[in-house]
Structure 1
Amino acid sequence: MKSSAFRVPRRQWQAAILYRLGVTVYPDKVGAVAMLERLRERKWSKPELDFMSSDDTNWIAKHIAPDFKSAYEEVASYLRRLRKEGVVHEDMAGSYYMNQGGREAISQAARERSRQTVRRQDLDDALEEIRDLLLPDDEDWGDVDVWLEERAIEFGHLGGKPAPAR
């Protein structure tokens, strides 16, 4: 993982920035300094690196860790990346705002991410409905796939003849 000027994982402080951009309604905008101040309020930045000068961070990057950035540089770099990806726009003063397309892209990603959970819940609900239809002698149905195949054959859905009614 790249060096970071934050105590929390990269994804966490980046998510906080995305959230802040998402709730900042145009014409309001927010810049890297304001974003960093919010992260500092949460005490997420590493105090020993937080107020380093550009000369210090440049020296560290040149001599020790090529990917080293100060907290400000990390935030500014992330905002530039969001701009490049088309999630946010930057005005002439270096302030950022999220357009509707950015909000929709994030909402779509969140829906896709939660789809698996929703599908699993649908499957669990369907299994409960099937269990409610079990015949008394089917109570110990160990393997769901075997049980479903037997029922499909019984009802003529797998090419076999339907079994006689019980």
Structure 2
Amino acid sequence: MSLWGLDEFMDADDTQPSAFIVPRCQWQAAVLFRFMDTQYPATVSPIDMVDRFREREWEKPDLVFMKTETSRKIAALAEDFKSAYEEVLAYMRRLEKAEVVYQKPGKTFYMTYDFKKKLKATLEALQAADANRDVIREVYEDIEKLLKPGGGGMPDFEGWLQQQANQHELAVQEFLANDDLVYGIVENLKEIEQVIQKRADGEWEELPDDLMGLPLVDMVNRLMQTWHEAEESAGDGWRARMENP
């Protein structure tokens, strides 16, 4: 999460006890998004969030109907124990200390304009990264389909994408959020796809110098050999046989 500047407010690796069955960062994200969607002078309270979490059945079942007095007795014996309400309130006060939210009387809070703007920009970047992933995957799978008749198996897409990001010393989401890098990788993949298609159509063309870390030379050679054998054995129907095995 460090890319998006939210690591200070999201406990992705937290292992502390919790009143919730979902990961801490999940309900924390729900709190942040609720703040983002709430327009001042409306505010968000811990009770409001706990009620929402109960509707989603995020709270541990044994704690749902626990009385406040009981939870206080447990907290007196177990220092790290907090009820759902206390846990959310502590998180909101943490955000207040970081000047992400301000508190109004009655333990209700609202998000600052600057952080709300930052959070919206983060969400837009994440959405753009997801869209770019889909664009890259589509071309990647098109190449995979072309190579399939030759028995060539492309590397796992996510693993390959991680390698591309590593080359630029970026996290995958950072890589995908960079439109220039995404454009370059898509254009390279399309060039590879076009060359393979031309080879399959009987037109010789060299593969690009940059094969994007894909073991294409052997796979393309196997594909050509398979097409050649099919042409010799199936006569005029060889192409249909290859394209529709």
In angstroms, what is the RMSD of aligned CA positions? 2.9
Q: TM-score under structure 2 normalisation?
A: 0.50
Q: Is the 8 A contact 1:50 1:70 kept in 2?
A: no
**How many pairs align?**
144
What secondary structure does 1:43 align onto?
Answer: coil
> 1:124 aligns to what?
185
> 1:12 aligns to what?
26
- Percent of aligned pairs sharing the same letter: 34
Alpha-carbon shift at residue 55 of structure 1 (Å): 4.1
1:1-166 alignment to 2 at 5 Å? 1-63=15-77, 65-110=78-123, 111=125, 114-119=173-178, 121-128=182-189, 131=192, 136=204, 138-139=206-207, 141=209
Alpha-carbon shift at residue 47 of structure 1 (Å): 1.9
Q: Which range moves more in the overlay, 112-121 or 80-89?
A: 112-121
Gaps of 5+ in 1: 146-166
Pick 1 or 2: higher relative contact order, CA cutoff 8 A, min separation 6. 1
Alpha-carbon shift at residue 67 of structure 1 (Å): 1.3
**What is the CA–CA distance in structure 2 between the aligned matches of 1:81 and 1:117, rounded to whole Å?**
31
Query: Amino acid of the residue matched to residue 82 of structure 2?
Result: K
1:2-36 deviation digits (Å, cap 9, x = unpaired): 10111111111111111111101011112111111
**What is the CA–CA distance in structure 1 between the aligned matches of 2:211 and 2:48, rounded to whole Å?**
57
**What is the CA–CA distance in structure 2 between the aligned matches of 1:23 and 1:143, rounded to whole Å?**
45
Q: Is the 8 A contact 2:20 2:60 kept in 1?
A: yes
Over 3 Å counting, the alpha-carbon distance change for 1:33 and 1:21 in structure 2 is same
1:113-165 deviation digits (Å, cap 9, x = unpaired): 8432133523312423664897x5522757558xxxxxxxxxxxxxxxxxxxx
Q: TM-score under structure 1 normalisation?
A: 0.71
**What is the CA–CA distance in structure 1 between the aligned matches of 2:49 and 2:64, rounded to whole Å?**
13
**What is the CA–CA distance in structure 2 between the aligned matches of 1:108 and 1:125, rounded to whole Å?**
24
Between Structure 1 and Structure 2, the one with more helix by share is: 2
Query: Amino acid of the residue matched to residue 25 of structure 2?
Result: R
**What is the CA–CA distance in structure 1 between the aligned matches of 2:91 and 2:32, rounded to whole Å?**
10
1:98-126 deviation digits (Å, cap 9, x = unpaired): 12112123235443884321335233124
> 2:4 aligns to what?
none
Q: Which range moves more in the overlay, 45-54 or 77-86?
A: 45-54
Query: Amino acid of the residue matched to residue 112 of structure 2?
Result: N
Q: Is the 8 A contact 1:5 1:50 kept in 2?
A: no
Alpha-carbon shift at residue 41 of structure 1 (Å): 0.8
Alpha-carbon shift at residue 61 of structure 1 (Å): 3.5
